Amino acid sequence: MANNKLMNTLKHAVKTLRVGMVSAVITSAFISANVSAEEIGYAEKEELKFGFIKLTDMAPLAVAYEKGFFEEEGLYVTLEAQANWKVLLDRVIDGQLDGAHMLAGQPLGATIGYGTKADIITAFSMDLNGNAITVSNDIWAQMKKHVPHEGGKPVHPIKADALKPVVDDYKSKGKPFKMGMVFPVSTHNYELRYWLAAGGIHPGYYAPHKGDTSGQISAEALLSVTPPPQMPATMEAGTIYGYCVGEPWNQQAVFKGIGVPVVTDYEIWKDNPEKVFGVSKTWAEKNPNTHIRVVKAMIRAAMWLDENNNANRPEAVKILAKSQYVGADYEVIANSMTGTFEYEKGDKRDVPDFNVFFRYNATYPFYSDAIWYLTQMRRWGQISEPKSDSWYKDIAKQVYRPDIYAQAAKSLIAEGKAKASEFPEFASETGFKSPQKHFIDNIVYDGSQPNAYLDKFAIGLKNDSKL
């Protein structure tokens, strides 16, 4: 005990010294005054339970736990795998979970009342990219004829144009062409729809105002929901012919020899925002310090994951391969987490940015990212009424909370655990990325003009159209 006390005094002294040094380096008296103002109080709730789905992009949670970042913030976190996205969301809403790894569309969908209506907010974006579309071996054999080849290998990105003849063939035979995605408001649903529509295949509309939430109105490809870990088994059983899902469930199909990933979401939309860390608004209001501390721990985890050019990734894969996290084989997870991606068996290509956790400001909750999801909800009829540009901005501002993120980041900077240069310039950041070009169909997205963006698509509801 005496020993402990001595240690603590020592640690305290070292810390004071460090802070002193930092403030000495930052010579401006104004900034150091600002730094001390950023000190965050103790967490209101110290024992927390967070939910996740078995996907590699839950890594920031696992790393924050295993590397002790949560504990350093005085948080005692239990991580619990959830059965599917709906269960996960419901448990966050009714308070059984304090927060969870969520699809970016979930807080937005819940807030606008698509599905369960509830106020969910997010102050932390968990990753960029990380998904892919896989088709069964049989479909790939039919598709491959239409894919341009170079040097004996398919030219990437593979567009849905190559799938179109296959779907037409099914249609002429009167057979439904079925594909799986993970949740109606999932990134995967929108990505799969985006890819199909870009290739001229209609993925179908939703019409919630008429009670039709199947999303199959005038569809050429019928999409349905399957929980991520069950995707390979469902495709193997022949219930679906392909799917869009996060890792490791695409690489799992390659390893099992039951399917071929044809395109990654990196190729559909370069550096697309993917998962977020969502909490209920009432929880966040009750536990503001806890929330900031959670975000701090997760920012550190994300930094660790991307540090030194992905140097820590093998260790991260080892953590994820544990059965309480993702639990798939090391090789399967490593295939995509360490900067490569295997398409057809043996066709392993470099995709260094397949999983991005921190660089390119991946963790910052941009309003424009939220608005992109809202435009896709409108495009496919989940939002049945026309909405004004300002409505999109208002919803984004309700759900995405860069203010909380900024507090967490500033506190890390003050503690010397992060550098200001690693974050956006908080004073001037508008939350809108400049128009983004890298989509598979070359359509430019400008988050400040959602309705003009919707008018650019050949397939999908426009600004004023209604079903």
Least distance (Å) from another protein to the CB of residue 19?
14
Among 236, 307, 315, 441, binds another protein (CB under 8 A): 236
Q: Assess 13 for contact with another protein (CB under 8 A).
A: no
Least distance (Å) from another protein to the CB of residue 89?
15
- Residues numbered 60 to 99 that lie near another protein (CB under 8 A) are 65, 68, 71, 74, 76-79, 81-83, 87, 94, 96
Residues in the chain: 467
180 vs 381, beta carbon nearer another protein: 180
Which range touches another protein (CB under 8 A), out of 40-48, 119-127, 354-362, 439-447?
A: 40-48
Among 99, 229, 273, 431, binds another protein (CB under 8 A): 229
**Residues pairing with 186 in the sheet:** none
Q: Assess 26 for contact with another protein (CB under 8 A).
A: no
Pair 313, 305: CB distance under 8 Å: yes
* 223 residue type, one letter: L
- Give the integer Cα–Cα distance in Å for 265 and 77: 31
Among 38, 46, 119, 168, binds another protein (CB under 8 A): 46
**Per-position x/- string for 381-420, each x denoting binding to another protein as judged by CB under 8 A, each - no binding:** ----------------------------------------
Q: Assess 11 for contact with another protein (CB under 8 A).
A: yes
Among 10, 21, 31, 47, binds another protein (CB under 8 A): 47
**Per-position x/- string for 92-131, each x denoting binding to another protein as judged by CB under 8 A, each - no binding:** --x-x-----------------------------------
Among 111, 252, 355, 376, binds another protein (CB under 8 A): 252
81 vs 147, beta carbon nearer another protein: 81
Least distance (Å) from another protein to the CB of residue 358?
25
Among 20, 157, 176, 257, binds another protein (CB under 8 A): 257
9 vs 465, beta carbon nearer another protein: 9
**Per-position x/- string for 312-341, each x denoting binding to another protein as judged by CB under 8 A, each - no binding:** ---------x-xx-xxxx--x---------
In angstroms and rounded to an integer, the radius of gyration of the C-alpha atoms of the chain is 23
Which range touches another protein (CB under 8 A), out of 8-16, 182-190, 372-380, 443-451?
A: 8-16
Q: Which residues bind another protein (CB under 8 A)?
A: 4-5, 7-9, 11-12, 42, 46-47, 54, 65, 68, 71, 74, 76-79, 81-83, 87, 94, 96, 229-230, 232-233, 236, 252, 256-258, 321, 323-324, 326-329, 332
